[in-house]
A and B are shown apart, each in its own frame.
Chain A
Amino acid sequence: MGIKRAPLAPYRVLDLTDESGVFCTKILASLGADVIRVEPPEGDPTRSIGPFYHDEPDPEKSLHWFTYNLNKRSVTLNIECTTGQELFKRLVKTADFLVECFRPGYLDKLGLGYAILSELNPRLVQTSITPFGSTGPYRQFKGSNLVVSAASGYLYLCGDAERPPVQCATPLAWYHTGLEATTFTMMAHWYRQRTGQGQQIDVSAQESFMSQALPDLLFWKSHGWLTQRSADGRNVAATPAQAATPAHAARPAQAARPAPRSMIKCQDGYVLFSIRPYLAEIREWLASEGMTEDLFEKEWDDVILKKLHPSPEQQHHVDDLVQAFALKHTRDELMWGGEKRGIEVAKVQNVRDVMEDTHLKERGYFVQVEHPEIKDTITYGGSPFKSDEMSWGYQRRAPFIGEHNQEIYIGELGLNKQELAVLKEGGVI
């Protein structure tokens, strides 16, 4: 077994993202790339995103900044002035990737569009992440995580029927967009490594996050169904609600089929319980505590033993029995009981549950990173895979504003101290 290597260690990324794309450069940094944040002289705007370390609002204590900029370096640079633009071009010549989230046309106006940058560095892969993409009637539209969630079709699926659609407390649309942008960036990287040719990647957050509305999209087109938000937390998988067009009315049998999984309340929270595929196993389990009611009667034998599809009424009846059973148990009892019987039961975990999860602990998922300046160690998410060959990880806390100006401008670009002082004086860095 050799020493683990960071596969992107030979490559440099210029990172001009905001919160909508920063997950992309975070992943590239965890694969070992030399990611350089290019911040405006006053510090990057995402440094104002909370929460903050010990709740002290300070651009050097944003936990958002901490989380998404591990392993990166930072330079300051005003790319809106001519001197800054020249310096930026010098940086671009040394880079393999540029990832940015500016509004379409902004970099072009500064004379830093892909056409110009790729002439300086034909190998450059530029990933441009915007809410709606860089072409089309909505290209200048603004987005937030909530707004992109709405425009992608995902938000409509979350919530209960009586109230507005509702989001997750963490920015899932930005998470997902950053994730997809990384994949596309790696595709272009692989092509570049074979051919020497860079290219530009136009990533629309709306389109990316549509991946998460997929079940709804599928059924609308093929069956004319719109998925309805769940009113009681049950039937959380795609439930066809309205057979909308006559062309689709020919599939009543499929339309009537209830969802295979249900959200079930238990003593200490909720579990997601796969019920429909496991009626026989569930009947045995309930029988062990005398809670089967009529499940051993003949009509049920047909459904259970012949594996026929239960009617919605039958499904709800089983749901009710499972629900009554679950109220006598904890999440862990149900989850492990399910595992023993081959039934998929997952517990709904909160943040603390996840961070104290025994499986994740045993696999050493979470990582602790030293922050010597605040004399503390902070926990972050770690590697999603294990390999003897390839590493994914973080050795270095997120950088301070312009922490690596000297290292990069003097040490790597060859500027001298006087030049650096002049740039600082002029507000360029």
Chain B
Amino acid sequence: MMTKASGMEMALSGIRVIDFGAGGIDPITTSILADFGAEVIKVESYSKIDFIRLSGRTIDGTDDPNKDVHFARYNQNKFGVLINLKFPKGVALAKRLVSTADVVTENFTVGVLKRLGLGYDELRKVKPDIIYMSSSFGGQEGPYRDFRGHGTHLACMAGLYDLTGWPDESVPLALAAFADHSSPFLWATVIIAALEHRRQTGRGQFIDASSLEGCIDILDTAIADYSANQRILTRQGNRHPAAAPHGVYRCQGKDRWCAISIFTDEEWQSFGQALGNPAWAGEERFATLPGRLANADELDQLVEGWTHEQEAEKVMLKLQQAGIAAAVVETARDLYQDPQLAHRGHFWELPEQDMKGYTFEAPAGCLSKTPASLQRRFPLLGEHNEHVFLELLSLDPEEYKALVKEGVIS
């Protein structure tokens, strides 16, 4: 509605998505679509609130499901309606909504929506070319069919945790719900591919999206390496097989660090010059990459001997000016003060009174003609019932009132 009002044609203008999902991966997928102009209608009910609304992290310290910071971040730009799917009338209403849509997404436990009468085969009866994506932990079939879990669990199963850390420690050291924030981009891509397929063939489809499988590509070349060379990749700390120095070096202050990567011999020479040509930087054994790799431990100590008395920002700027890849290990505080991010306007801020000052990142892709935009904050529970049911679906006002009264729209 606001898209039309502002007259701005966006990349996905005209695409309507009905989202029955909850949690992380499914809602983030549709928020990406919404950021680029899709009209996403999120379906919840008082009997099944998106559990992320109850994550316990609210803007004001209350338990208000309309103030959760996670929910706010995963559901911007969407419309929110309430339909109690336990009522047959609720299922009928949901079908009516789907009959006007292009895409349906859900991430219920496998089989639940089907039992409610909202499976793919039912919905294609009301909208033959519907694109229906069910995302789940491991897919709709297979031994892990009934597994539940968060992005962190997926990252463990996909190998990310095993590969993060130091070679001399066994404890996995990642801190990442990685799949929660990667899979959505994959699923958004697949949904647009399905729209393209529909454009070419006129056909919709059911997509069984396995977030575990969507995460396996983090293994990079380790799959082919195991297959071709029978090698099992292990933790490498901050080392790189083709760069030295390559690491995270302590800087002045508490828990301040700068990451540095030196690949070529030319970069190594510039590094020496940037440091004012200390004797060690000119040593023959460090002149070539093989020499630096062979002496990497000692090199790390020498580099840290230089960095640890300086501010991380100064190390970064000095080295980047010398043509060397380097960056402060930024905390969230640093990111909000990062001049590059500020220049690029990477943060969106909510104007609404109830979440005043709530800021989050805009999409990282700057499309020159159809940029993403923040049209509205996350929906409050049932906020757009009237807009969706009365205006978009043209429900008779009396029928609408009755459905509210009966607890169907609730």
Which residues of B pack against A, CB within 8 Å? 9-12, 14, 32, 36, 56-59, 61, 69-70, 73, 138-144, 146-150, 152-154, 156-166, 169-178, 181-182, 185-186, 188-190, 192-197, 199-201, 203-210, 212-214, 216-229, 231-238, 240-243, 246-250, 257-261, 263, 320, 323-336, 338-341, 343-344, 346, 357-361, 363-370
Contacts and interface: CB of A to CB of B under 8 A. Distances in A.
Contacts of B36: 187
Contact of B182 (A163, A212, A386): A212
B223 A366 contact: yes
B201 A5 contact: yes
Contact of A136 (B224, B330, B340): B340
Interface in A201-232: 201-204, 206-208, 210-223, 226-227, 229-230, 232
A175 B178 CA distance: 11
Q: Chain B contact residues: over half helix, strand or loop, or mixed?
A: mixed
B213 A384 contact: yes
Candidate in B70, B156, B339, B341 with the most chain A CB atoms within 10 angstroms: B156
A261 B249 CA distance: 30
Nearest to A195: B9
Contact of A379 (B175, B223, B333): B223
B360 A217 contact: yes
Contacts, number: 499
B232 A351 contact: yes
A184 interface: yes
A364 to B, nearest CB: 10
B363 to A, nearest CB: 7
A256 to B, nearest CB: 11
A322 to B, nearest CB: 16
Contacts of B366: 133, 201-203
Contacts of A149: 259
A155 B216 contact: no
Contacts of B217: 23, 175, 381, 384
A31 B36 CA distance: 21
Nearest to A365: B213
A133 B200 contact: no
Interface in A159-190: 159-160, 163-172, 175-176, 179-184, 186-190
Contacts of B226: 351-352, 355, 379
Interface in A129-154: 131-133, 135-138, 141-144, 146-154
Contact of B360 (A218, A342, A390): A218
Interface stretch (A81-89, A247-255, A399-407, A408-416): A247-255
A384 B336 contact: no
Contacts of B194: 7, 387, 389-390
Contacts of B369: 188, 191, 197, 199
B364 A180 contact: yes
B259 A346 contact: no
A263 B238 contact: no
Q: For the complex of A and B, list the 9 residue pairs with the smallest distance between their C-beta atoms, beginning with the closest.
A: A184-B365, A220-B332, A346-B153, A144-B261, A207-B364, A233-B171, A150-B259, A379-B227, A389-B205
The winner among A157, A167, A203, A382 for most chain B CB atoms within 10 A is: A167
Contacts of B221: 51, 63-64, 66-67, 170
9 contacts: A53-B229, A135-B343, A146-B261, A158-B173, A168-B218, A197-B369, A207-B341, A349-B158, A354-B157
Contact of B261 (A147, A211, A349): A147
B59 A222 contact: yes
A29 to B, nearest CB: 13
Given A151-B327, A210-B361, A349-B158, 11 more contacts: A63-B224, A146-B261, A152-B335, A188-B11, A189-B192, A193-B196, A251-B61, A254-B56, A359-B212, A360-B216, A366-B223
A243 to B, nearest CB: 12
A313 interface: no
